[in-house]
Amino acid sequence: MNNYKGILYAIMSSAAFGLSPIFGKLSYASGSNPTSILLFRFLIAGVVLLAYLIYKKIDIRITKQQFIVLLLIGGVGYTVTTETLFMSYVTLGAGLGTTLHFIYPALVCLISIFVFKERVSRVKLISLLLAGIGLYSLIAFENQKLDIIGVILALTSGVTYSVSIIALGFKTITSIDNRIATMYVSFGAFIGMLLYGVFSDTIVLKFNAGIVFSYIGIALVSTILAIIFFLKAIETIGPTSTSILATLEPIISIILGIIIFGENLSFSLVIGSAFIVISTIILAKEK
């Protein structure tokens, strides 16, 4: 039963994260930019969670070690991951950049095996392979130039995210209430984005209905709910399985793009989605 609950948490997290590009597109169309939306995304998420925890009279005190780890995950892990990913979009496009970013499930699996000596089952390895095939089937590489800087940036985002996921799986972190952990990660990411935005002079303080709606949406749905469900999935089924199931995220983003923005449904999307769904079913059947 816990296995199915963990899978459900991971799928719900993927759905919430999958809405992020939609809110991003709406925000950009209204005059914002990546640094600004990420800055306010984490600020709003942190403040809302802090207010909620205070209202519920939940003790938010954690150990010094837990505090440092969570701030580093947010301030370094999430900041570097999101910025390098968005920077890769400039030369690679969102499709290829996101696909290269999703090297992280394989990295999480490898780190778990070789560093933490986790015994990964054959079912997980098969599921990971099918998910990888599905991801790369989502993108048609014809007539697409590979910019080496863009490739490095996208791969860097995958590497830093995989390290963040492993860190979130530490027992010292999984023992923390998911809402409290998400709050500290959000504030850490806000600090990281603020420093980056100030030094790069890329913060846009522009507000209108479209931008405010996007900021609130990406903070509440694609940050608070997404990270809480992600942490619950890691706590229940572990970092490796959670990372494999996260490959549903680009499918959800693409489907929402088709529904909301009228984007085209391609044959590669159908094939790629089929592989990823099959990988999810196989993983769900594992005892």
Each residue's pLDDT tens digit, 99-109: 788 888 888 88
Task: Work out the pLDDT band at 48, boundaries 50, 70, 90.
Answer: very high
| Higher pLDDT pick, 68 / 87 | 68
What pLDDT band is residue 140 in, cutting at 50, 70 and 90? low
Average pLDDT, the chain: 88
Q: What is the mean pLDDT of residues 63-78?
A: 95
pTM of the model: 0.86
Average confidence (pLDDT) over 172-188:
94
33 touches 269 (CB < 8 A) = no
Mean pLDDT of 53-58: 96
* Of 84-98, 167-181, 209-223, minimum mean pLDDT range: 84-98
Domain-wise residue ranges, the chain: 2-285
**Residue 142 pLDDT grade (very low, low, confident, very high; cuts 50, 70, 90):** very low
